[in-house]
Amino acid sequence: MLIVMKKGATENQIQAAVAAVKKRGYTARPIPGGDRVSIGVLHNKGSVDAAHFLGLDGVKEVIPVTKPYKLVSREFKQENTQVKIGEAVFGNGTMPVIAGPCAVESQKQVLAIAKAVKAAGAKIFRGGAFKPRTSPYSFQGLGKKGLEYLTRVREETGLCVVTEVMDVDTFDMVEESADLIQIGTRNMQNFSLLRRAGMSKKPVILKRGMSAMLQEWLMAAEYIMEGGNVNVILCERGVRTFVRHSRNTLDLSVVPAVKKESHLPVIVDPSHAAGVRDQVFSLACASAALGVDGIMVEVHDHPEEALSDGAQSLYPGQFADLMEKMAAIRTIIEAP
């Protein structure tokens, strides 16, 4: 159930509504919007009587919600959520680009790539310090050392950084270093990790699971929001299908589908979907034309020597070309 406050509702009125919800044994979760505040009523078993709240001062209306997700739902919050990281805003009609190598390999490597992607217009630098790898014998990332290299990237270039967190144990460490925390596709339903992310003050990118239904993905985001963290960015990165000409199948139709169901920003990672460089450029342009809230692309200065996913990384020169194309496409899409 959703309690929608009037436009001019005071902080006292909001707190009174929250108290009324709690008094009945439910959880109240205020959701700030541009114009007004709504209050999500959670953890109710069975239906809740709207009459309890309708008479309170400052309450405009009370809306029952039928979808299994609540806080992520557009029924709960009509206007787009905007997630701000440094000067980048996801969800306001711009399309910030996140770029960098799959894995942090050395201080020199990340600085070189960071400078290149910044020059091309990227707003956020990506690089994995903890790497989830199918094989225990593959390069597992530099760990803490990798986080330090990322910190230096921020200091030297001014770029914000995003990196993946793999478990609750290392969450504090990652949270401290990163401006934006990524939860990877294999952990989309690692509910303990989602709950921890829900308690973080840092925004979170939640990648779609390899075979996640739209509803499962939104429910995973609900876990994070239910914990109190409203800064969630959804990221489509391809799903597993019978297809063999690309590593995964990029499901672009999920973007308009998410935007219909949810107010959360949604970005696209064409690199992991494609798995091969020559599809990444095309799919990134296609994503830009779709009206996504951001793009995440892998860039490497020496992809042939990359310790992870080199085959799908763009060269810095290709990336600069791509940025120009995407910006031009974006202008067309945003034109009335």
Q: Does 243 bind its own copies (CB under 8 A)?
A: yes
Minimum CB distance to its own copies, residue 26 (Å): 11
Helical packing angle, 214-226 and 254-261, nearest 10°: 50
Kindly write out the interface string for residues 150-189 of this chain, putting x where it contacts its own copies by CB under 8 A and - elsewhere: ----------------xxxx----------------xx-x
257 binds its own copies (CB under 8 A): yes
Tokens of 39: 């209050």
Rank residues 77 and 272 by Cβ distance to its own copies and give the closer one: 272
83, 208, 232, 294 from 92: Cα distances, Å: 9, 21, 14, 10
Smallest separation, CB 55 to its own copies (Å): 26
Interface pattern 21-60 for its own copies (x via CB under 8 A): ---------------------xx-----------------
Phi-psi bin for 291: left (phi > 0), alpha (psi -120 to 50), beta? Answer: left
Nearest residue (CB) to its own copies, 36 versus 263: 263
How long a stretch of residues is the chain? 336
Nearest to 178 by CA among 86, 259, 243, 108: 86
Q: Which of 41, 113, 266, 273 binds its own copies (CB under 8 A)?
A: 273
Residues in binding contact with its own copies, number by CB under 8 A: 69
Strand-strand pairing, 97-100 and 160-164: unpaired
Residues near its own copies (CB under 8 A) are: 42-43, 68-70, 132-137, 166-169, 186-187, 189-193, 209-211, 213-216, 219, 222-223, 226, 239-246, 249-257, 260, 273-274, 278-279, 282-283, 285-291, 325, 328-329, 332-333
